[in-house]
Structure 1
């Protein structure tokens, strides 16, 4: 479908504006707790991570929040009192850092700034990322800014004028500008949000500031917050922690934990390093690994021949450690080298990788107890880890392929003076049983993907991801005391074992490159900080209970359990940025992942405290001032601690009253817990886990207040490519609505996908959706014109009274079946499936009904279809449905005040089969007719002037033969296929298996034997459409009866000349 002009878009946008005004004036989505009998009412409370307010909302945000939007619409129709509030996050460093950048740029280059030509070019000294296929390499910094280097240029890229940009030097201006735009953009999308409960974070909002201070006082009182040394991104040049705003590259990068495996050198060094052979202390190559549980499978150790390495003294370990200087720099600030002299490195030797090749080392836990050898790997980077890599070819495709290269290429071994005995005898060791890949998964996957060498990088990446994903979450250990245990449950245990036996060291480095403003590469150092003690085993136990009680997919649950297993202390304080200050130490700010864990509780009363004022400058309807919200008041509201009478007496100069306090407490208890939390999959390992931690801590004895359901989705692609400003493949929410209408965008979002895999919004889908919605609106207009005029009804041959046609019963049944299918799909939050059922298929049923009736439809059925179509589609395409409901059908209240439709009668499975049978039969007849019409007997020629014209002669009649049973050979095939159906009835045996099973019967089939496999394929195709019923030997449909009931339709669709021409 293509659109000519903007008339249809303009009409839909006009309708959307009118509908949004109707919703707002009628307060349709404002959720109020009933004053009486509230315990008898079902509620549904859904939340979404409040987006960060340093820019406009884009389609990535919109895709995730659409899951909340559709869910709320459905649950409301199911009769629940629904609440969807929406906050706006301003805590953290990005806003203040951007404001400070603007101030510096104006100070240096004027206001508006005049940048030197060279300085305006994007910096090359920024982190490179892997590009999408077919795209040029771009940095993350360039991608975010669309090629801009300066903050002023970034603001210009948002379409701002110079006088407007200058205002953003004040961080407070950000807190008023972007939140207002976000609310406006979301209103234009038509979200079902109760805007009275919206707020911004930070101490700019005194109510929320007070709430967060109470949260942290409560956590500290419970001993959940501690002070001590924590691993922190650190600038050696500045000798202090390097926060986000102090980085030119690496904003948001955090420390990454590794296990350093100590590989003891047990052979002599080359002669030029003879001094090392005289040392009395042990010498180790140290390899950084993220998977200590695989160390049982070590067959060798890798270094890069051309990388520079150093041998450094470790006073703490009483040994010499060999690694890259970059890794040594990180170790020096973590107490691994000299705990008394942070940053000091004592180098005893410098090596090239070639100097280390052929050394024999002792590999901890490996079954090659006599030692393994140091071998070359060309893909090692000096910028990651230590430059030394353990080799586990059983479970690492990279290791297996690299080892195979050495085994198969004698010249490669000769080049580096490696003996055959250092390489060839070392076979992969089975250590993990991986479902679908066996005990040597790397070997299996390399064979499956036909990977030939280390140069097959894309295939190797695919192999690596699959082996890790399946092996880590579902693999079973095969070795020692861990035999029979799941891999993800023993990782920490094996790491602890290695550390306790002094075979390993815990080590950190930045997860990606971080460059400070001074230009040096940041390291990870141990620094004093306030932190949340997420590593507490007692706390972890409670969180695991919360995960177990969750309604979530297995993949999400696995991710949460895994995070809880490895999670340790989390620094919750910063000295720079916007936010709330620690109540007991106000030089520290609470960081953005820590003030965003229980704010869902604040939603339940926000409308009463600040009532629609985003920054809380004006008190809400209860007229309670922020200073009256003391910790004791919060204790009563959220924990039920204290007596309202006593609180009022203590705060006698406040406006607090006992009824107010009781109402606030009631509001919280009515809405809590959160019924659904929707988020992105990348937040499973941080925010979503912290969310559970904090709920179990604040409400430790009340699991009924813990979250009930978490749903996560994948990242969003736009037109099958990653969204990027630099490539132009980017859409803000505002632009999308302007181009495709709100409902066009909503329809495309529903179609994008529902799993943890990356979803894909297609602009062509939004465009097609816009046109289809307009067509639906047009159909309603035309059809209602007929229904509302008895004369037009008669002219159009519309029927009333009792149902008289077989098609009436079929269509009624299809409508009821659609209600059932839609209910299941909505409940499962499978919105793409919902769209297929309620938008495409239901309209197809309508059109088939009209076709089979030859236009003589029944008015009652058409009116029922109208109601059902609007109700089922309304959670997704809310504006069009509301407009038709109110303005065309003349209902007095919103469609969202209606209830989910009831079935007019139970779904009749036989009627479903009959409807599909007549569709299939008519289609088959038309194909046969087309084939016959191509023959000479159905053609005649006549001369028109001097030209001969061929005419098709329409048939006068036709004879239908109906077989009562399958031929013996087909029946035998169906029996075999049915006998080998999967246990769940959803999967047929593969063709190879069926061919083997049919072989003994082929001789008895005679000349039909050659048709056996084609028939199998035909049944397979029908099985994919209709399911296991196609395997039944006796059809449940009386074919003759159904054909007789639909003779008129078949005669018409075949164009037979005689009115009784089908026999």
Structure 2
């Protein structure tokens, strides 16, 4: 275990990284003298990343949907830092438009009606300011979290007045009258949002923070320059058009300014009926993303009009809405969580993992609270294991790596690193998490089991490499956990936010194939034994008693049955390499004419599945294994004996049509007297259990 003050030290270091290390500055003139090299060359030498999101509106605190959107830029900024780029992630606060002004105007009227403390309000069901209940009320469905504060509660149909909405989102009654001044909203909510995003672990450079009104003269000046420049270029015009108009406010009421009626626009009616001769072809369709039709389109138009091509946006990411536990986050049902709810209930890293796991497409994503809950325990147990390994590293095995357990695990880590980094760069965060956390943990567990089965300890170098790789691959999604492991467990100097992804090393395809073979073979042995246990439990006759002393004979061959050759040739002839497919109807017809449909079809279907899964045709259709199967089985013997409780385990090499085989353990010739020996094929050994004298 780490010392009691290790966690505060790690958190202090992370706090420093948030305030100092995450600031992205351009190279100074001392580093690169002015005009010494072209700008394009400078960007190539010192690559940068600049990402932002549609900044949230400041009429309340951030909810889980905001956290999903911000996570995409946040993860991208983390990936850029791990690639050694200067990563800039600024954050703004949207305060323009009518929603804030409309709410403030309502409060002005309500203060006049009910008084500054709203004590003049009378109703059959008086409003009571929210307080923590003394006794927790049992919910009807304990699997659902129901927020009592936030925008969803604020928009509940039960709330008639604006001051009630403010109470529902947690504003003290004595403070509500201050929100009658629109400027107070700008002072109250942005600091809360900044606090929530900081606690969430965002890599935001807060020096670039702003609000979108003339309260920030720099942003206001930029927008005025933008509009004037677009007008000079004849890209925009001032004139009349039909629009939704608020008579009360005396100004147009844009789509996102309305509390209801979004998507409603002016409609023109024609007095004459027109016959449609032909429908126009459908050119494009916007999938989800309610900002595409307005903000994002204007974003693209403006950049293309104002800047040269080298400064155009390189990419735009659209995502769907975030569902909670498979259901839409609803204003009325209470199926809703704020960003603060997430971090307080599950912690930042477990919440971030659940958001990464929610999906990356344009369809609606799903935040599963069970995933977040499970990851709290996952991260904790993983931390404990890392601490134990580092503390007890002197008890681990040292020296050269062996060619079996160590080689397979080392190669597994290389494969996971390659896959995770590739998915991170491609912004597929769900797949990156799958490789960088779940598959890496699975590879470690397989290594532990393989070493335990062989009666050997983990190799110290590989255990320490795993801990470092895990911290680096998880730093993008779970920065707090990774920072703790990096600083307090591995005792590295400096924050992990200045580290790089692990070096991508060559993956040995033969070792990967060998690992899969070992896993499948061990699983098949366990299944064969388990089947006999089930039969015995049901009172059925079994070929052996699994509870009595037993031995296992494994039959292996390196030659395929002669009858398979013609079907391999047939598939070679018909396989479409580019499409990775075959004409099934034609293939089945030819197999049927060859007269061995019953045994040929399963064989051909297996080959086809392997080809479609991406295995090279040179391996599948040439019927070659990428590793030495007999040697691998001999290496597995100690582990199989230990895990299955075997008295003995024999590996017998057989050939088609022969009544004798060779025991690979002692080289002796043996008689083949069991049917299983006839069914072995390369890559698919067969098994025979039998009871023996102890």
Q: TM-score, normalised by structure 1?
A: 0.53
Q: 1:962 aligns with which of 534, 537, 556?
A: 556
Contact kept, 8 Å, 1:97 with 1:245, in 2: the verdict is no
Show structure 1 runs of 5+ residues with no match.
Answer: 1-9, 122-140, 263-282, 287-362, 367-430, 433-470, 474-487, 489-557, 561-679, 940-949
Q: 1:20 to 1:901 in 2, by over 3 A?
A: closer
Does residue 41 in structure 1 map to residue 46 in structure 2? Answer: yes
Does residue 916 in structure 1 map to residue 516 in structure 2? Answer: yes
Which residue of structure 2 lines up, in the alignment, with residue 32 of structure 1?
Answer: 25
- SS of the residue corresponding to residue 377 of structure 2 reads helix
Aligned-residue offset at 1:206? 2.3
Please give the alpha-carbon distance, in whole angstroms, between the structure 2 residues aligned to 1:180 and 1:12: 29
Higher strand share: 1
Please give the alpha-carbon distance, in whole angstroms, between the structure 1 residues aligned to 2:125 and 2:244: 28
Larger radius of gyration: 1
Does residue 765 in structure 1 map to residue 371 in structure 2? Answer: yes
Contact kept, 8 Å, 2:92 with 2:211, in 1: the verdict is yes
How do 1:168-187 and structure 2 match up within 5 A? 168-187=179-198
Contact kept, 8 Å, 1:44 with 1:75, in 2: the verdict is yes
Aligned-residue offset at 1:161? 1.8
Q: 1:862 aligns with which of 463, 469, 493?
A: 463
Contact kept, 8 Å, 1:744 with 1:770, in 2: the verdict is yes
Please give the alpha-carbon distance, in whole angstroms, between the structure 2 residues aligned to 1:116 and 1:936: 76
Contact kept, 8 Å, 2:153 with 2:334, in 1: the verdict is no
Q: 1:827 aligns with which of 425, 440, 461?
A: 425
Please give the alpha-carbon distance, in whole angstroms, between the structure 2 residues aligned to 1:1021 and 1:53: 53
Aligned-residue offset at 1:1024? 7.1
Q: 2:357 aligns with which of 735, 751, 759?
A: 751
Does residue 845 in structure 1 map to residue 440 in structure 2? Answer: no
Does residue 77 in structure 1 map to residue 85 in structure 2? Answer: no
Which residue of structure 2 lines up, in the alignment, with residue 1036 of structure 1?
Answer: 626
1:217-259 Cα deviation digits (max 9, x unpaired): 3333333343221121146x8897553699986365452677x
Q: 1:704 aligns with which of 310, 318, 322?
A: 310
Please give the alpha-carbon distance, in whole angstroms, between the structure 2 residues aligned to 1:912 and 1:744: 31
Does residue 255 in structure 1 map to residue 275 in structure 2? Answer: no
Aligned-residue offset at 1:860? 0.8
Q: 1:101 aligns with which of 97, 101, 106?
A: 106
Please give the alpha-carbon distance, in whole angstroms, between the structure 1 residues aligned to 2:176 and 2:612: 58
Q: 2:294 aligns with which of 679, 682, 686?
A: 686
Aligned-residue offset at 1:809? 1.2
Does residue 883 in structure 1 map to residue 484 in structure 2? Answer: yes
Please give the alpha-carbon distance, in whole angstroms, between the structure 1 residues aligned to 2:261 and 2:8: 42
Which residue of structure 2 lines up, in the alignment, with residue 284 of structure 1?
Answer: 272
Contact kept, 8 Å, 2:532 with 2:546, in 1: the verdict is no
Please give the alpha-carbon distance, in whole angstroms, between the structure 2 residues aligned to 1:219 and 1:828: 34
Aligned-residue offset at 1:892? 1.4
Does residue 899 in structure 1 map to residue 500 in structure 2? Answer: yes
How do 1:628-639 and structure 2 match up within 5 A? none
Contact kept, 8 Å, 1:723 with 1:730, in 2: the verdict is yes
Please give the alpha-carbon distance, in whole angstroms, between the structure 2 residues aligned to 1:194 and 1:979: 60
- SS of the residue corresponding to residue 353 of structure 2 reads helix
Please give the alpha-carbon distance, in whole angstroms, between the structure 2 residues aligned to 1:238 and 1:867: 62
Aligned-residue offset at 1:207? 2.5
Please give the alpha-carbon distance, in whole angstroms, between the structure 1 residues aligned to 2:555 and 2:461: 36
1:959-1016 Cα deviation digits (max 9, x unpaired): 211132444555555555565555546x545xxx63652234336444xx33455556
Contact kept, 8 Å, 1:754 with 1:832, in 2: the verdict is yes
Q: 1:906 to 1:732 in 2, by over 3 A?
A: same
RMSD: 3.5
Q: 1:754 to 1:861 in 2, by over 3 A?
A: same
Aligned-residue offset at 1:1050? 2.5
Q: 1:859 to 1:257 in 2, by over 3 A?
A: farther
How do 1:368-767 and structure 2 match up within 5 A? 472-473=282-283, 681-699=289-307, 702-767=308-373
Aligned-residue offset at 1:98? 0.6
Aligned-residue offset at 1:149? 2.6
Aligned-residue offset at 1:690? 0.7
- SS of the residue corresponding to residue 472 of structure 1 reads coil
Please give the alpha-carbon distance, in whole angstroms, between the structure 2 residues aligned to 1:715 and 1:951: 56
Please give the alpha-carbon distance, in whole angstroms, between the structure 1 residues aligned to 2:233 and 2:615: 57
Please give the alpha-carbon distance, in whole angstroms, between the structure 2 residues aligned to 1:710 and 1:92: 24
Q: 1:87 to 1:718 in 2, by over 3 A?
A: same
Contact kept, 8 Å, 1:957 with 1:1061, in 2: the verdict is no
